[in-house]
Amino acid sequence: MLANQTGAVREAVGVFKTADALQEAIDELLSSRFDRAELSLMASEQAVEEKLGHKYRKVSELEDDDSVPRVAYVSPESLGDAEGALIGGLFYIGVGVGAVLASVGFPGTAITVAAQSILIGSVLAKLVGDHHARYLEKQLDHGGLLLWVRTRDEEREKRAVDILKKHSGSDVHVHGVAAS
C-alpha cells in the first residue's frame, strides 16, 4: 500500500459527468506515470449496496467512504480485446467442429456450426459491452463516475488533483484512507 511521508495513505478523488471526461483523465494520469494499480472506480451499484447494506442516492455520498467496494480500471481496449476474444475464440471452435463434421460427411452442417459459433460469440461480446454501458449509466444516474487515485507524496497528490480538475472532475480533493 502506498503511503506519503507521514505514513498515512492518501488519495485524490473526483466525480466525472461523462465517460469521455473520465477516460481523458485516466489517460493523462497513466501518461503521467501513475500506475493502473493506483486507480480505482466504484464497483457496481449492486455490489456497493450489498456492502453498505443500503441504497445510495448520490455518488457524492460515497467519495470519502473507505468501505465502498471498488474495481480496478479496465481500459476500453481491454474490453474490446475481450469482445474480440469471444467472437474469435468461438469462431475457431466452430471451424474446428465444422472441419470434423465435414471430414465425416456433413459439409452443410460444418458451415452451419461455424456460422452459429460466430453468432454466439457476437451475442456474448454484445453482452460484455452492454454490461459495461449499464455500469456507467447507473453511476451517471447517481450523479457521476467516481475515480480514486492513490498518491505517494504531496507532489503526486497535487499532480493527480490538477489532472482530475483539468478534465472536468468535480468535487476534486485529497483525503486519507484507512490502511488495510
Helix segments in 104-179, DSSP class H: 107-141, 154-166
Q: Which residues of the chain have pLDDT under 50?
A: 1-5, 79, 81-83, 86, 90, 92, 125
Per-residue pLDDT tens digits for 121-162: 555 545 555 555 777 888 898 999 999 999 989 999 999 999
Instruction: In whole angstroms, give the CA distance from residue 87 to residue 119.
Output: 8
Q: Which of 164, 179, 166, 177 is nearest to 13 (CA)?
A: 164
